[in-house]
Amino acid sequence: MSKKQLNAFTLAEVLIALAVIGIVAALTIPNMVISYEKKATATKVRKAVAEFTQVIKLSEVDNGPIKTWDYGTTDSIEATRKFMNKYIIPYYTGITECSAGLDYSCSVPLSVSGINYALNNGIGLSIRNFHQHGMQGAIKGANSMFFIISTNINKGKNAIQGRDYFYFVVDIENGEVLPVGWFMGITREDIFNGWIGTVDKDETSGEMIQGNFTCKKMQRGELGENVADYYRHGCTALFVLDGWEFKDDYPW
């Protein structure tokens, strides 16, 4: 038998090898893709929040401490635009108003009175001027200004909180940026188990609205169109609590 014959592979051996390679690829590639998506998203969020924090600090140099800023007396698009034009936009390098109110064309909108912006790095920012008093669900005992960072502005209404967009608040007493659902001493178990926090006041009844702060991998449509929002209000807090990265057990 020649040396060439000894080193040759049979057709069956080649097919078996290809089958094994295919199985390994099928098992590993999806995890590799998810891992890449997690790292890329984490980097975008960290940079966007760092930039927003820096904008606040730069604005405070010219306009004084954030707690002294004029937030207006009405919760409206016009008031938000006035606030943004004075306190925020001049301190960004590359920011464009791209829609207002509940328009999903360039960012997940915050509210009917919010304005949505596109940043020069492809990130969406939605914010409103009006701050909330005593938002126990956002930051215990603090006055809070809300904003949303959208890392995937093409998802529109299909965007998932904690994956395509992230919900933050600014403590206007000191300018600290924290995730919605944050309170001192919060643990991963608190988030996974879920907890009820007061998040808003109904303008008609005056009653406080309760929100569920947890982070679960929910399928859209189980409990309505916005199920991903309601059951993922704690995802941003989990992300921050884990050192601004997505751990293996994060419900991506």
Is the pLDDT confidence value at 216 over 60?
yes
Is the pLDDT confidence value at 227 over 50?
no
Between vectors from CA 107 to CA 73 and to CA 102, what angle results, nearest 5°?
50
Q: Where are the domains of the chain?
A: 11-241
Q: Beta-carbon neighbour count of residue 82 at 10 Å?
A: 14
Q: Which residue has the higher pLDDT, 136 or 175?
A: 175
Question: Pick from 179, 170, 249: which is nearest to 213 by CA?
Answer: 179
Is the pLDDT confidence value at 66 over 90?
yes
If pLDDT is split at 50, 70 and 90, which confidence band does 6 have? low
Is the pLDDT confidence value at 105 over 80?
yes
* Per-residue model confidence (pLDDT) at position 74: 83
Is the pLDDT confidence value at 184 over 90?
no
Q: Calculate the alpha carbon distances from 43 to 17, 49, 75, 128, 151 in Å.
A: 38, 10, 32, 25, 10
Is the pLDDT confidence value at 39 over 70?
yes
Mean pLDDT of 98-103: 94
Ranking 33-37, 56-60, 132-136, 195-199 by mean pLDDT, the lowest is: 132-136
Q: Long-range contacts for 130-135 (Cβ within 8 Å, ≥24 apart)?
A: 130/71, 130/72, 130/74, 130/75, 130/79, 130/80, 131/71, 131/172, 132/200, 135/169, 135/198, 135/199, 135/200
3-state secondary structure 136-174: CCCECCCCEEEEEEECCCCCHHHCCECCCEEEEEEECCC
pLDDT digits (tens, 9 = 90+) for 109-160: 988 999 999 998 889 999 988 655 444 444 444 467 889 999 998 888 888 8
Is the pLDDT confidence value at 100 over 80?
yes
Q: pTM of this prediction?
A: 0.79
* Per-residue model confidence (pLDDT) at position 158: 86
